Amino acid sequence: MNKYLIIVFINIFFLSCDSDSNEHYNFKNIDPKIVGVDNDHLKLIDELILQSALNKEVVGTNAIIVKNGGIVYHKAFGMADIDNNIKMTNSTIVAIASMSKLMTTVGALILFDRGLFNMDTQLDKILPEFENPNVFKSYNKKTKKFVTKKAKPPILMKHLFNHTSGIVYPIFIPDSLGREGYLNASVIDAFPDTLITLEENIKRLALLPLMNNPGERWWYGMNMDVLGRVIEVLDGRPFSKFMDEEIFIPLKLNNTGFGVSESKWNKVAKIYQNIDGEIVEFRCCPEFNDEELKKAGRKKESVKSYKYDPNVIAMGGADIYSTAYDYAKFLQMLLEGGALNDVTILGRKTVELINRPLENLFLPEDKGIAMGLSVGVVKDETKSYEHYSAGSYWWGGYFYTSYWVDPKEKLIGVIMSQMNPAKSELNNKFPQLVYSSLN
């Protein structure tokens, strides 16, 4: 039996169900039956996560369920660091990747609430580098140049929030759409070091052609990273400092941020991958071949952006670190209309914009799902055989983390592992078991 399986079996008897203090009076553990949740049924979640670990689909997982403002389930399983025999706990810090997007969206909406822009404000009025953008037509591999046309209309702020700006993730562009040209621009899309500033990185991005005319279609891209730079320009503080002072510190999200203090580095989970049945540490970035890695200034190394100074560069689309508890608390603030523990982050009507399903902005497979502001939204629950109520919203992260909020049920679920690629149904089955526990 290999080292990984031995550790997993040990942890079956050590479920890591630690009871970290939930110190804030309206966000604490409550008896599930008080809010109509069958506690015995919740035990099926334990079995689900443990089986996923035994199948080597995940290494460590932390999950939390909040109903009517109280925590009815919060458990950790497995390992945060196999080599050093560190268990996953309720206070383990993880890379939440694209779950950063909603937090950055809230940061930008704070400035929206202060009247510093509206949704029809032209992006180039804030960031002049985006003036007169071009749209991709083709890429000539011989000349290594793009063939483009002028974009119509200009990029508006609303296009950033709903991924219709045409701005791309260079790393995910296929060869047929000029991948080489996008990668040659050396734009950092995630996990940065401090060799480049956020300002310079976004200026490089602005030189690249859009994938479509603004507002024309949905294309997943570095929109929230641009929002981070917008925040810097409009507010004057470094983006990371703004997020600390306006969201993380006021809400007492004590284990959340773009950087992690050195005293907490031992609380950060390692990221893993399964290669032919063997669990090994994740190395950035599997989407690149060796030649592309070199051109992009990348190395096959573990993700360690949490150790760098985030006031130099912080990527709003991917680089926040957090815990399941902190993230659920952040979501509870939204569920309560933008305020928590007498701390107001957003106005109630602004919060309502987040999960408003936008017309003609359906995600690629229309199953009654639309885009809100950086989130997927259930527009029509009658087109799905899933439990989510209309108005529910969700997103996930690259390292197999995900969340959802169901305002009708006053229900929040967050589940965090650290695995890529993830070949598991765990994150899909988790909400199924949560909903079926409701009386």
What's the mean pLDDT when you consider all of the chain?
91
Is 90 exceeded by the pLDDT of residue 132? yes
Beta-carbon count within 10 A of 252 CB = 15
Q: Beta strand pairing status for 60-67 and 278-281?
A: unpaired
Answer for the pair 130, 183: CB distance below 8 angstroms, yes or no: no
Other residues' Cβ atoms within 10 Å of the Cβ of residue 403: 26
Half-sphere exposure of 41 (CA within 13 A, CB side): 16
DSSP bridge partners of 74: 64
Check if the beta carbon of residue 60 is closer than 8 Å to that of residue 80.
Answer: yes
Higher per-residue pLDDT: 43 or 363: 43
Query: Mean pLDDT throughout 226-235?
Result: 98
pLDDT at 7: 46
- Output phi, psi for 296, to 5 deg: -85, 0
What DSSP state is assigned to residue 122? B
Question: What are the pLDDT digits (tens) for 245-289?
Answer: 999 999 999 999 999 999 999 999 999 999 888 999 998 877 778
Question: What pLDDT shows up at residue 23?
Answer: 44
For the cut 80, the answer to whether the pLDDT of residue 363 exceeds it is: no
Residue 11 has pLDDT above 70, yes or no: no
Instruction: Measure the CA–CA gap between 381 and 366, rounded to whole angstroms.
Output: 12
Q: What is the pLDDT of residue 260?
A: 96
Q: What is the pTM of this model?
A: 0.93
Q: How far apart are CA 273 and CA 42, in angstroms?
A: 28
Tell me the pLDDT tens digit for each residue of 90-101. Answer: 999 999 999 999
Residue pair 414/67 in contact (Cβ under 8 Å)? The answer is no
Q: Which residue has the higher pLDDT, 420 or 11?
A: 420
Q: Is the pLDDT of residue 9 over 50?
A: no
Domain ranges of the chain: 1-90+323-336+397-439, 95-320
At 360 the pLDDT is 60
Q: How confident is the model at residue 301 (pLDDT cuts 50, 70, 90)?
A: confident
CA distance 163 to 371: 9
pLDDT score, position 308: 92
Q: Is CATH 3.40.710.10 what the domain over 95-320 is classified as, yes or no?
A: yes
The answer to whether residue 21 scores a pLDDT higher than 80 is no
Query: Lowest-confidence range among 182-186, 293-297, 387-391, 408-412?
Result: 293-297
Q: Is the model's pLDDT at 315 over the cut of 80?
A: yes
- Give the residue, 2 or 422, on which the prediction is more confident: 422
C-alpha–C-alpha distance, residues 205 and 144, integer Å:
17
